[in-house]
Chains A and B, each alone.
Chain A
Amino acid sequence: MKKILLHLCTAGAVLLASLVTASAADSKLVVAMLPKSKGNAYFISCKAGADKAAKELGIQLLFDGPTDSNAAKQNEIVENWITLGVDVIAVAAENKEGISTALRKARKSGIKVITFDADAMTDARSFFVNQATPEGIGHGLMDEAARLTNSEGEFAMIVASLTAANQREWQKHIEARLKEKYPKMKLVAVRPCDDLKDKAQSEATALLSANPKLKLIMAICSPGVPGAAEAVKQAGMTGKVKVMGLGLPNENKRYVHAGVTDSVILWNTGDLGYLAIYAGVAVAKDELKKGAKTFKAGSLGTFNIVGDNILLGKPFIFNKGNIDQFDF
């Protein structure tokens, strides 16, 4: 009985939705955006940018996703959208392989598919809106560290682990940039924190007492930044030793306001959502094709395309002045 009721409801919803799309289809393109999880503040801030783009472009935006990061649920939603017959699907894939079958099916039925934030298999989408390249992150972190220390003195790094692929990649670019541009700066230690805030705090405490000339701690994993900040605060070295790194605004707000942490680096999630919608619509209108080298997205200007990756560009720096505008 329950099952029948469920089917009836689904059928009703699909019917209703198709009526809505049918009436809108004459004038408006329908873009469906699928985050990894719809309640997650990170994706809600992506949606803010997407809403803005939708308004500017005069399209209809559907925003739906699993309530938790659930790969199977993502497939279900894509299947529903295929039935609905949306024009564009923009996905942040929870499971690269898992979602790709559903996306290929969507493409077969004429829906344009792009990915943002987390890519699917390359044959399951036309473009990937890439929020950050390892080189962009590495250079962004190193340049900001140099700015905070006037390009001289000792600094130490806290990483998630010594072996994680993304961490190694970022570290490589940080060290290359250091060698190339900042000869007066010296990286004195690299310590792993196993992605644990508490361990980062212990590591930073030891770093501070072992390196009395230390001027800055850079953490390149998100729990590392507040962990290092707490250590600097407890050691009474606020302002004397700067803290910065790759992290999320909400986890660092209190330290940024207290003047312990100077900069938190990530990408602008609003811009990411905005660019994803612009790119999706351009693909649907056939304005953005394979082989393009640049892409202009409304008020954000022109973005570079490498292969089939649309690059969001330089990382964004959160500091005392702007961090309160972000909630994720």
Chain B
Amino acid sequence: MKRYFRELSVLGALAAVLFGMAIFAPAFFSPQPLLSLLTREAPTLIVACGMACVIITRQIDISVGSMFSVCSVCAGLLAARGWPLLLVLPASILLGAGLGAINGLLIAGLRLPSIVVTLATMVTLRQGLNLVRQGEFVNLPDSLQWFGLSQRSGQLVLVGASLAFLVALALAMRHLAAGRFVYAVGTDAEAARLAGIRPQLVTFLVFVFIGALTGLAAMMNLAQSPQVQPLSGAGLELKVIAAVVVGGVAISGGRGNLWGAFAGLLLLACVSPALTHLHIEAYWEKAIQGAIILLAVVADGLRSRKAKR
């Protein structure tokens, strides 16, 4: 219980918000709009899972937003050319993995700091995409929306798939050797090396992993509307990093889990619709989200000081 205090406190905050909404604005829980909003967050959850792994290894990837845009546009163009979903989906994942591999090679291979490398790839990919597309939308074939299912089934599939992935990855991180390697490298890379783990390989693979997940998330987003905006991933990196940090994954590596990241994501994501339902001015949105992040960081800071003593 005490071990998971940090995650539970986020869950508690989320429960408090939802309880407040149930009293002051019960319309917040009308099933269809709520399902739609959850579906909108499903791709974000997938990327947040990857980001949690990256941060646990003591790295960061701020290029996910740009990778997301590039995968969205490329997958969209392939689909518009008549490629079937069964080819477009792996193509998008592979493209993401490839972009992630570039980050991974530079970071693990050349031992460059991840914040600088991914800043560079973030800017390069985004500007490259702007150059090619000039902001023009890609129109998708109708068959792609909801993967050809009805809207309701499509939404349930997307939400269900992202939750299933979360559960599977959370279990894998805890019980599989690969998952424990990630924690080991983030806690102490040198100790991990002495224990026979290859930290650089783990780091490389984690970046490939988040790239592939970003490609998957891009597809999950494409299925939700009939056209894609080249700007679509802008700001995604901040959203997922914030979710992960609020959820108790330590930016210094080695600590935290996916359940916390999930709770953090939901907490931050419900701020905007909650304000809309309470008819509070939108100016508060970013301020409240910022305050939540600050609170989380301060809590972590106090905790680690206490631990050191």
Contact = CB atoms under 8 A, between A and B. Distances in A.
A18 B277 CA distance: 66
B156 to A, nearest CB: 14
Interface in B35-87: 36-37, 40
Contacts of B30: 209
**Most B CB atoms within 10 A — which of A68, A69, A206?**
A206
B5 interface: no
B40 A202 contact: yes
B85 to A, nearest CB: 20
B137 A251 contact: yes
Q: How large is the interface on B (under 10, 10 to 19, 20 to 34, 35 or more residues)?
A: 35 or more
**Most B CB atoms within 10 A — which of A195, A201, A210, A250?**
A210
Interface string B242-286: 000000000000000000000000000000110011010111010
A196 B33 contact: no
**Most B CB atoms within 10 A — which of A205, A208, A226, A254?**
A205
A198 interface: yes
B229 A196 contact: yes
B131 interface: yes
B163 to A, nearest CB: 19
B234 A226 contact: no
B225 A198 contact: yes
A223 B276 contact: no
Interface string B195-230: 000000000000000000000000001001111010
A209 B27 contact: yes
B27 A212 contact: yes
A212 B232 CA distance: 29
Contacts of B241: none
Interface string B101-133: 000000000000000000000000000000100
Interface string A48-77: 000000000000000000001100000000
A323 to B, nearest CB: 15
Given A201-B225, A203-B272, A230-B225, A196 B231 contact: yes
A209 B31 CA distance: 10
B235 interface: yes
B232 A202 contact: no
Contact of B276 (A189, A198, A201): A189
A194 interface: yes
Given A191-B282, A202-B37, A254-B226, 19 more contacts: A37-B134, A189-B282, A190-B282, A192-B282, A196-B231, A198-B229, A201-B40, A205-B273, A206-B272, A207-B276, A210-B27, A210-B276, A210-B279, A223-B231, A231-B36, A234-B36, A235-B32, A250-B137, A254-B139
5 contacts: A196-B235, A198-B224, A205-B273, A210-B27, A210-B277
The 8 closest A-B pairs by CB, nearest first: A209-B33, A206-B273, A206-B276, A210-B277, A197-B229, A210-B276, A202-B40, A205-B36
